[in-house]
Structure 1
Amino acid sequence: MADIMRRWQMDGIGLVGGAHLGKAAEVIGVGGHIHLIGALEGFEVSTPVMPMLMKDITIHGIGTGRRRALTELVSAIDSTGTKPVIGARYPLGDLPAALDHLDRGPFGKIVVEVG
């Protein structure tokens, strides 16, 4: 992942929850931005601080509302059988093509399969 980020000069990572904050700090470049989305795993995060200090990383917190509202939303989606529209799937090795696909328009999710 670090190689891909360097090659494509990516400077941001979006995370859901804080469990992978340390790994994100390892692979992101100097001056990078980590967008931490929600706290469904709890409000405590334990991670080595040195990569963040040495790389001058900025962490942006993005609130997602209350857990109860999310639970109700998930229940509603489950009960109606709503499925996301997937516009395309790409293996991680085709990340450049997946990123190019983003320029085609806003319809459908673009899935990058890892592993």
Structure 2
Amino acid sequence: MPKPLPVVDISAPICCAPLASGPMDPDDAVELALRLKALADPVRLQLMALLMGVDDGEMAATDLARAVGVSGGTASHHLGQLRAAGLVASTRRGVNVLYRAEPSNLEALRRVLATCC
């Protein structure tokens, strides 16, 4: 059985150097691995694609669930994982929970994975 990754707060912005810059600090490696793990699911990738392409910046959880063909509970679970990783944020408006992508954190993730500076 694989060793579970430690529980750390990964909602803060990514601040480590690009992978191509050389050896990575072990703590930075754990934070990056947990963020990538949050994205490593087909439904989560679909949810991120929807949120990044939405015109007004926000989408209700029920609309997201319907769009990717999963139940509301399943969508909420996946959105919770993305929120814990700092990749999406949510706002409650009445009975609806609206989600939006966090572009600054996504851009920081892209910069870490970039092969050149």
- TM-score, structure 2 normalization: 0.24
**More helix per residue:** 2
Identify the structure with bigger relative contact order (alpha carbons < 8 Å, sequence gap 6+).
2
**More strand per residue:** 1
Which has the greater radius of gyration? 1
